[in-house]
Chain A
Amino acid sequence: MDRRELLKMVALATGGVMIGGEFLLSGCKNEKSGAVAFKPDDIAFLDEVGETIIPTTSSPGAKAAGIGNFMKVMVTDCYTEPDQKVFMEGIRQLNEFCKKKNGIGFMQATPQQRTALLEKIDAEAKAYQKEKNEKEAKLKEEAAKERNKTIALSPNHYFTMMKQLTLFGYFTSKPGATQALRYVAVPGHYDGCMPYKKGDKAWAT
């Protein structure tokens, strides 16, 4: 088996790694596709959501990594229909929430307003996913006792999807991997004991 994948499994088991890791275990899901139709406005919107999560600093932000388009590809090709629906509806919900809070839509909001808004939604999404995971872990445990029994999963939070896709898409993109992180295509050697000083970048792969 591929060692790298094995190590990911190991990391997964700690429960500490969710982004990307969750994709790894569930793969991209089954059922019917085609519930999504991203408009250019949606891509632009998602670019700004991504840029708020991973902004431009000394390295490019998520927008420069084409995060809106990446989300479109992943949601269209790899999400289940229920998840697709939650995601599309999430774009609308996020904007409505912004209007309610700030009196203007997300695209019109200032970077400070956007950050404050997403901090709030992120906290809500985390609490929601935590409760969902705990509930489903219990159900799975019970289902495991009966062979072939499947459990009904409740929907994921839309912001969990957006944040996961932003992080995954950004850090595996060229700007993310080569400028925010370090990437060497053909290392040619391995030294497992290099000095590290705080601030040195992590390896992309």
Chain B
Amino acid sequence: MPGNQPNIATKATEANTYDAIVIGSGISGGWAAKELTEKGLKTIMLERGRNFEHIKDYKTAQWDPWDFPHRGRTTEAQRKAYPVIHRGWAANEAVMDYWANEQDCPYTEIKPFTWWRSYQLGGRSILWGRQSYRWSDFDFEANAKDGIAIDWPVRYKEIAPWYDYVEKFAGISGSLEGLPQLPDGQYLPPIPLNCVEKEVAARLKKQYNNQRHLFIGRVANITKPIQSRTNCQFRNRCWEGCPFGGYFSTQSSTLPAAIATDKLTVRPFSIVTRIIYDKNTQKATGVEVLDAETNQSYTYYAKIVFLNASALNSAWVLMNSATDIWPDGLGSSSGELGHNIMDHHYNCGASGIMPGFEDVYYDGGRRPTGFYIPRFANLFNDKRNYLRGFGYQGGASREGWSREVAELNIGANFKEALTQPGTWTIGATAFGEILPYHENKITLDPNKKDKWGLPVLAMDAEIKDNEKAMRKDMVNEMAQMLTAVGATQVTTWDNGHAMGHGIHEMGTARMGTDPKTSVLNKYNQVWDAKNVFVTDGSFMVSAACVNPSLTYMAFTARAVNHAVDELKKNNI
């Protein structure tokens, strides 16, 4: 199986030479490795954390709830060790050791920044939320129309075939809706809405003149077997790792494909400290690696380098590279490297009670997704007092044992009441677009070092007036929609948003048409070193309001295709 005994580097240069190096093994790194190896390139994938094997290392995945000593809650000791993860919902007994060690890997918060990292093979592809949406031209054209930042160098038409390509392999389930703002894709059969959600969808269409839509979240959980993967078993425990391969992860999908080519070497515990740049050829010749276990340094050589270390860490690698030529690092000649950080802001929305429906319930299945309400703000004839828009993710369900029961507090009747489902509730949280602000940036902190003596990142980013105005609308619109479809006791919440909390960091090495204003060209190539490709969230020029991973997959596959073409033409 993947990386079981990875080829450990020897001192001989020849043995350390590959056709391609992939830095990082998460969603985009996995895709890069699959595409490169399938095109015949001998490839090494470098992962800074431990090896993490499919199925075997999903140690809690077959546990029942009562097998967890704290039933999912984390301990005081974990809370101390992982203060950042405990800022939100991600602290859970099942997955605590999937998160990066916060003591070994600190960072500096000039402004509050919640950075959720997973340093192990597969990265956050194991833990991700799996929501998978296409961008539309409303998104690709947004910067140009609004005069914000720079224009995207591509349009939907150019990316659409790559969305097709990655969706078919990754396996995305969803329904066809025919909406111009959220293009349909190549979907496996959709997971059903429940009774209440179906009725709410119908009422919403009616109340809003067919301008508001609610359908099942498009999700990278397969509803039919594909490749050697079993379809989703509706356990909704994806993030522990799925023993059925029911959702897309590096381990379930791209890694087996890459391994099957016999062209892949996986090297865990490999912290890439810099990309080695040759100023004569103006290309990278390889990378320098610090072994996280032994502290030994190694050098690997290749014709192509794919940088997929996640938006912030990829920028970090670039900032530490070629500093003899550019003091601020490889790709910094535009002055945009590390700038324009975006995320999606959320943690606000509304919920309420749906009266009635007492004679319906769901079977024992636990869906790995909820409903989705796509963007409507600032589209078509809609105009708001801010730019861009937001979507909602939510669900309807019957209350369980954790509810209050009127008049009953203790004893047999109380217990019996709690063993039956309660009323239906419905709620959703909004995910809003954050604009790219040049001043939202990361830099190297000159004063702080990590466990290996490497400089750490300093985060200096925040949401601004546009996002704050949008948040008010995100809350109000949901409350209005719930009221319109008949919900009662509607309540709203807004817990604020620190950058990074959306786990959708992007924009630190944006693409563009002009090397003076962008770090990458339209094929994700670093302008200053054309055999270096950055295809994780770093390349994003704007954020849209939909979950971004599918877009990284599409751009990665496209970039590899371009890279190999260019290599054949001796252009890189």
B233 at the interface (CB under 8 A from A): yes
Is B403 touching A193 in the complex (CB atoms < 8 A)? no
Which residue of A10, A29, A115, A193 is within 8 Å of B429 (Cβ)? A10
Is B363 touching A191 in the complex (CB atoms < 8 A)? yes
Is B129 touching A74 in the complex (CB atoms < 8 A)? no
When chains A and B are docked, how far (Å) is the Cα of A52 from the Cα of B414?
11
Given A7-B395, A7-B427, A192-B193, check contact A52 B411 (CB 8 Å). yes
Q: A163 to chain B: closest CB distance in Å?
A: 8
Is B79 touching A198 in the complex (CB atoms < 8 A)? no
Interface flags for A186-205 (1: CB within 8 Å of B; 0: not) read 11111111111111111111
Q: Which of B3-11, B46-54, B70-78 participates in binding chain A?
A: B70-78
Q: A17 to chain B: closest CB distance in Å?
A: 5
Given A21-B402, A195-B360, A202-B419, check contact A14 B491 (CB 8 Å). yes
Chain A residues with Cβ under 8 A from B236's Cβ? 2-4
Chain B residues with Cβ under 8 A from A8's Cβ? 89
Interface flags for A27-46 (1: CB within 8 Å of B; 0: not) read 11111010000000000000
A143 at the interface (CB under 8 A from B): no
Which residue of A73, A115, A199 is within 8 Å of B70 (Cβ)? A73
Contact residues, B345-384 vs A (CB, 8 A): 347, 349, 351-352, 358-370
Q: Count residues of chain A with CB under 8 A from any CB of chain B.
A: 81
Question: What is the count of residue pairs linking A and B with beta-carbon distances less than 8 angstroms?
Answer: 248
Chain A residues with Cβ under 8 A from B359's Cβ? 195-197
Q: From A2, A16, A185, name the one whose CB has the most chain B CB atoms within 10 angstroms.
A: A2
When chains A and B are docked, how far (Å) is the Cα of A1 from the Cα of B410?
36
Q: Which of A93-101, A131-139, A169-177 participates in binding chain B?
A: A169-177
Which residue of A2, A30, A193, A205 is within 8 Å of B79 (Cβ)? A30
Given A7-B395, A23-B73, A28-B74, check contact A192 B192 (CB 8 Å). yes
Chain A residues with Cβ under 8 A from B217's Cβ? 3
Given A52-B411, A202-B401, check contact A6 B89 (CB 8 Å). yes
Q: A113 to chain B: closest CB distance in Å?
A: 13
Chain A residues with Cβ under 8 A from B195's Cβ? 192-193
Chain A residues with Cβ under 8 A from B65's Cβ? 172, 177, 183, 204-205
Is A171 touching B418 in the complex (CB atoms < 8 A)? yes
Is A18 touching B402 in the complex (CB atoms < 8 A)? yes
Spell out A's residues near B (CB within 8 Å): 1-11, 13-21, 23-24, 27-31, 33, 52-55, 57, 59, 61, 73-74, 77-80, 115, 118-119, 122-123, 126, 167-169, 171-174, 177, 180-205
Chain A to chain B contacts (Cβ below 8 Å), 12 pairs: A2-B90, A2-B238, A4-B366, A14-B491, A28-B79, A29-B79, A119-B409, A122-B409, A171-B401, A171-B418, A187-B233, A192-B194
Spell out B's residues near A (CB within 8 Å): 64-66, 69-80, 86, 89-92, 129, 191-195, 197-198, 217, 233-236, 238-239, 347, 349, 351-352, 358-370, 393-395, 397-404, 409-412, 414-416, 418-422, 425, 427-429, 489, 491-493, 503
